[in-house]
Amino acid sequence: MHDTKDLLVQERWRVIDQSVSGLYISALQSFGMDDTLCASVGSGEAPATARSWVHQPTVVLGIQDTKLPFLKDGMNLLQENGYEVIVRNSGGLAVVLDEGVLNLTLVFPEKAKGIDINRGYDAMWQLVKDMFADHDQEIEAREIVGSYCPGSYDLSINGQKFAGISQRRIKKGVAVQIYLCVHGSGSERAELIKQFYQLSKKGEETRHVYPKIVPEVMASLSELLQVDLTVQDVMLRFLKVLQGKSGQLFTGSLSLDEVPLFESYYERVVERNQKVMGE
């Protein structure tokens, strides 16, 4: 384990809570938002910022997914099931967002010595372990084969994945993002993505490797901990842990300087999305 304590400990943590308001906006705004925070926190104009966000049913594709030979068929399936489909501007593969999935973003300034990529991942893993320290369950970080968007920092309990972590860097800002499946069925979400890949690939040879999804390896925290967790319960745990790590924790929104920055980053996200989707 790398030394992570110092990354979570910040003099000031600004919290932007969109765990409710996010339900009324497109997930594209979240990607514009995280890019904005990366730039403003990285330049030192804004303090370290933690953001929470929840969106209506959306499947977020990675750039690699857009190379699938029969992508339109897969997208039609998702849309027929009531999901909006967007493409994020970073790596990784398809993930599911809905009312039971809480996303958290931690944005750090990359000071003089820089932040090693694993340190960012380790900080988020540590945060989640601290959030659920009262449950006697070991939270592991390792790739869960058969999950959607598999990665070396999948978080799991007894081999079942409930969260995935990604990172985005812009200028001198580092955004570490996690999606936490709080409630609902993890395997049903995985089944949807399994069908998406089957329809989008139809067994063809592809240059990229796409996951062979085994729905049973995914679950929500409510299923794994056998308690009825809500997004707000998890938000409270998150704020409590963060409060213990900061000199000052305060809720805020974008500053007047960040608003035009957001508009330009959001525009970029929308344009890239339209280009990739061939609209």
Q: Higher pLDDT residue, 3 or 166? A: 166
Q: Give the number of other CB atoms < 10 A from CB of residue 137.
A: 13
Contact 134, 148 (CB under 8 A): no
> φ, ψ for residue 242 (rounded to 5)?
-65, -35
> Would you tell me the crossing angle of helices 186-201 and 71-80 to the nearest 10 degrees?
150
Give buried/exposed letters for 110-128 (b at 16+ CB in 10 A, else e). beeeebeeebbbbbbbbbb
Encode pLDDT of 221-273 as tens digits.
999 999 999 999 999 999 999 999 888 999 999 999 999 999 999 999 999 89
Contact 224, 160 (CB under 8 A): yes
Strand 140-141 to 155-157 pairing: antiparallel
Q: Compute the distance between CA of residue 19 and CA of residue 249 in angstroms, rounded to an integer.
A: 17
Q: Compute the distance between CA of residue 134 and CA of residue 86 in angstroms, rounded to an integer.
A: 36
What is the gyration radius of the CA atoms in the chain, in angstroms?
18
Q: Compute the distance between CA of residue 194 and CA of residue 77 in angstroms, rounded to an integer.
A: 11
Angle in degrees, CA 191, 201, 181, rounded to 5: 30
Tokens of 40: 């403003």
Contact 222, 183 (CB under 8 A): yes
Confidence of residue 68 (pLDDT cuts 50, 70, 90): very high
Q: Compute the distance between CA of residue 216 and CA of residue 146 in angstroms, rounded to an integer.
A: 9
Encode pLDDT of 158-174 as tens digits.
999 999 999 999 989 99
265 Cβ contact partners less than 8 Å away, ≥ 6 residues apart: 32, 33, 35, 36, 39
Q: Compute the distance between CA of residue 169 and CA of residue 14 in angstroms, rounded to an integer.
A: 19
Q: Which of 149, 175, 176, 193 is catalytic?
A: 149
Q: Give residue 246's pLDDT.
A: 85
Average pLDDT over residues 87-111: 92
136 Cβ contact partners less than 8 Å away, ≥ 6 residues apart: none
C-alpha distances (whole Å) from 175 to each of 104, 109, 223, 267 are 10, 9, 28, 19
The percentage of residues in the chain with a pLDDT greater than 70, rounded to a whole number, is 97
Strand 58-61 to 84-87 pairing: parallel
Average pLDDT over residues 142-152: 96
Domains of the chain from N-terminus onward: 5-134+166-180+230-276 (3.30.930.10)
Average pLDDT over residues 16-41: 96
Contact 144, 163 (CB under 8 A): no
Confidence of residue 53 (pLDDT cuts 50, 70, 90): very high
- Please say if 149 is a catalytic residue: yes
